[in-house]
Amino acid sequence: MKKITNIICIFLSAVVLFSCGDDNTNNEQGEGTIAAKIIASNAYPALEENVILKVNISGATDIKSVVWTMEGQTLGEESELKYVFKKEGIYNVSVRVTDNAGNVAAALQKLQVEGKSLRYALQNFDPAKVWIMGHRGNSSDPNIPENSIAGIESCIALNGAVDIVEVDPRMTKDGIIVLMHDETIDRTTTGTGKVKDLTYEQIQSYRLKLADGTITNHTVPSLYDALVAGRGKIFFDLDFLNKVSPKELYDVVKSCGMLDRVFFYTSNNRDVLQNILNYSPAPIPYPQCEDEEHADFLSQQPGVIFTQISLSKTLNGGLPAAISSKGLFVSTNMLDMNGYTYDTQMTQGNYTGVDLILSKGISMIQTDHPQLLDAYLKQKGKR
């Protein structure tokens, strides 16, 4: 049987051997020595996520029956089946295998179901509403540093004001993906140097700083820890291009059961977009659209539902309408950049910029002040 080397990966398989067992295993011995192993596509599925359950069988050539059960109810009698969970909770899924010689093996696996499926939410997106993305995990709290677990938790604590937290994965010298926007840690921590030249342990020895330079007690989190902190509570947008390879990112996201809760922001890179769509199972892409020809290309890519455009292209020209005509939803940033100050204006009670964005049919807005934006959008009936 294939050795499972990563105990935290989503293939948390329950292996049945007659000589041993663990908390996730039921043993049933027949006259022979066959063994069964459950492989779940995700041990931490979201509601409405398509979960694939497979059973690998060793020591037997002719199988008489395969029976899947969950909490006493029969699910099916195939070696592979698909299941969609409708309620949160911890579920015990078991399989019982019998071969023609009368040998029996069984396996049991616990699946923890929590939170919504991003793919399902996108497929059922309400065009009358607007989603909010918290830039770098920003909840508007000036006492919490960017790209921190505390920032993610503060967005969650806003009870739905933030739909998605945007974070910046970057690779350390020893191969750990951490959250860090800049190439160096100089601006946001008490240390100095490039992330790629420092080990995870070295980076952990420093403290994160606020925008004004105030030192906090927070440390730079790994991507894995950040995703687990938000799993089942909030969606993520991973801004990873030129910071970490798509496959390395994919492996971490998959390992903590988050493929159905995360956007892979591919910017305007068509090759990266098409590359990640070849992964199995494919992640959820979130590209940037440059023009109408690009919109046509994106509309033909499987899994693309939302696409981002710059604020300038949002406000000038017909690109938002062109994208919408292709059946895609449009998002934009209202961050203070490229001469626009709509985010800051919002903190001063001026929502003119927000109204301009809404007039273009935008369905998701990224901001540094999600709490303010949420309150205003509720007044407009957009939340």
Contact (CB, 8 A) for 67 and 96: yes
pLDDT in tens, 243-281: 999 999 999 999 999 999 999 999 999 999 999 999 999
* C-alpha closest to that of 18 among 81, 110, 107: 107
* C-alpha closest to that of 139 among 117, 181, 167: 167
pTM of the model: 0.90
Give percent of the chain above pLDDT 90.
88
For the chain, which domains are there? 14-113 (2.60.40.10), 118-379 (3.20.20.190)
Residues paired with residue 364 on neighbouring β-strands, in sequence order? 131, 331
Query: What 3-state DSSP class applies to 229?
Result: helix
Give the β-pairing of 35-40 and 14-15. Answer: antiparallel
Contact (CB, 8 A) for 343 and 321: no
Q: What is the mean pLDDT of the chain?
A: 91
Backbone φ/ψ region at 382: left (φ over 0), alpha (ψ -120 to 50), beta? alpha
- pLDDT at site 28: 39
Handedness of CA 109, 257, 56, 93 (dihedral sign): positive
Neighbours of 174 (CB within 10 A): 11
- Phi and psi at residue 73, to the nearest 5°: -105, 135
User: Helix crossing, 223-230 with 246-255: angle to 10°?
Assistant: 40
**Average pLDDT in the 38-50 region?**
97
pLDDT in tens, 284-327: 999 999 999 999 999 999 999 999 999 999 999 999 999 999 99
Strands (E), the chain: 14-15, 35-40, 50-58, 63-70, 73-76, 80-84, 89-99, 104-113, 131-134, 164-167, 169-171, 177-179, 235-239, 262-267, 284-287, 306-308, 329-333, 364-367
Query: What 3-state DSSP class applies to 218?
Result: coil
Contact (CB, 8 A) for 165 and 134: yes
User: What element of type H or E holds 249?
Assistant: helix 246-255
Residue 339 has pLDDT above 80, yes or no: yes
pLDDT in tens, 99-126: 998 999 999 999 999 999 999 999 999 9
pLDDT in tens, 218-232: 999 999 999 999 999
Integer Cα distance of 326 and 304 in angstroms: 11
The tokens describing 199, both together, are 């080990």
Contact (CB, 8 A) for 255 and 137: no
- Distances in whole angstroms, Cα of residue 207 to Cα of each of 44, 210, 211, 217: 31, 10, 13, 6
- pLDDT at site 32: 58
